[in-house]
Amino acid sequence: MMKFATSAMAALAALLTFSPGLQAQAEVQGVTDTEIVLGTHLDLSGPINFWGLPVKNGMEMAVDDINAAGGIHGRKLRLLIEDMGYDPKKAVLATQKLLTRDRIFAMVGSMGTVTSAATMPLVLEQGLPHLFPITPAEMFALPFDRLKFAYFAPYYDDVRTSLKYLIAKNGYSRIGVLYQDDEFGANILKAAQDQLAESGLELVSVTSYKRGATDFSSQIARLRSDSADLVVMGTIVRETVGAMAAARNLGWDADFLVSQAGYAPIVAELGKGAVAGLYAGAMTPIPYPDTASPDVLDWIGRYKPKFNQDPNIEAVVGYMVIATAAMGMENAGRDLTVDSLVAGLEQIRDYRNIFGTSPISFTPDDHLATRHTFLAQIQNGRWVPLTGFMHYGE
């Protein structure tokens, strides 16, 4: 009996030694012969759950579509979603659970700048891929790390590109900034400062607010007293509407520019006339049914009955990040490891999805998908693209 056991163990050792694929697979966290486990944390109950809930829908629809088509080289995707309420402490706890208890293969589409900034180090320390956080902050691509991949054009590029275009086209000369007092807002402020310096201008007014603020009357009064003719806003959805409503209530008709963080149909829906004329940088056209391509119409037609609501840009974002991660896994081949996934993502070149997003590419020394955005404006209650894809350096 002992002799048989020893022989069996020796045979198994020889099999592992001479079957690199089998040995590698046994060591890959979150990957079995039939399944790939992915994880993310979203705001499903906090101040930006109007982003988190449709993102969740889009992610789940992408997983269902991929699995219905046979999965990734015969493996089905399983996506684990944790609610962090847009709280960095809760995000850390959620990430620790995903890494140690659920043993995910990769973090995909974690939500928010401050929350993802708190959790990305945990993922990287575990030696796992940190893919496409739902934030355009540049820190998720730079400094370069082979395990970091970012999907969205950075806030910095987005704001500089839009601001450069608007200064040249509309002749603004008195620029003010209203920004959230955190890492997100700091990106917006720096972009405005740098673009004005290149344009030979200086900021005439700068004011900030704390995350979660609802009253912007004092900040708007200051910007107005400093005679800003264009206000660059480091705001998200609720704050964008609140700030512009405060301006219109004072009878102030200055123009406003927001980053991708405020580019969402809900801004037009909630703000109504107060946000008319608002400019924003954007990467993907809003999927309005009457202007959608046949492919997007088909996607809308499948989404609506599944979730009993119309899809919005947030649902598109959720779908895109999962679909792009799956593309990298497909390119990786059947022997899926962290290394093969990285190589698979780096094969993506000039990819254009059905939604009209800026073309994306990754290379072995650049894991930022794109720096190109277009300028959009709210006209008659909806977002309308005003330009093609641009970059401030071009």
The dihedral of CA 14, 20, 26, 32: what is its sign? negative
Q: What is the pLDDT, as a whole number, of residue 26? A: 54
Give mean pLDDT, residues 190-197. 98
pLDDT of residue 3: 38
Percent of the chain with pLDDT over 90: 88
CA 259 – CA 207 distance, rounded (Å): 17
Structure tokens at 13: 């050792």
- pLDDT (0 to 100) of residue 178: 98
| Tens-place pLDDT, residues 23-48 | 344 579 999 999 999 999 999 999 88
CA-nearest of 240, 263, 58 to 155 is 263
From CA 106, how far away is CA 131, in angstroms rounded?
7
- CATH superfamily membership of 29-153+292-363: Response regulator (3.40.50.2300)
pLDDT of residue 137: 87
Q: What is the DSSP letter of 326?
A: H
pLDDT in tens, 233-246: 999 899 999 999 99
**Mean pLDDT value across residues 246-274:** 95
Could you tell me what percent of the chain has a pLDDT over 70?
A: 93
Domains 29-153+292-363 and 155-282+375-385 share a fold: yes
DSSP state of 261: G
Looking at every residue in the chain, the average pLDDT score rounds to: 92
How confident is the model at residue 110, as a pLDDT? 98
CATH for 155-282+375-385 is 3.40.50.2300
* Dist CA 31 CA 34 (whole Å): 8
Q: Would you list the domain boundaries of the chain?
A: 29-153+292-363, 155-282+375-385
Backbone phi and psi for residue 38, each to the nearest 5 degrees, phi listed first: -115, 155
pLDDT for the residue numbered 269: 94
3-state secondary structure of 224: helix
Could you tell me which of 189, 224, 195 has the C-alpha nearest to residue 209? 189
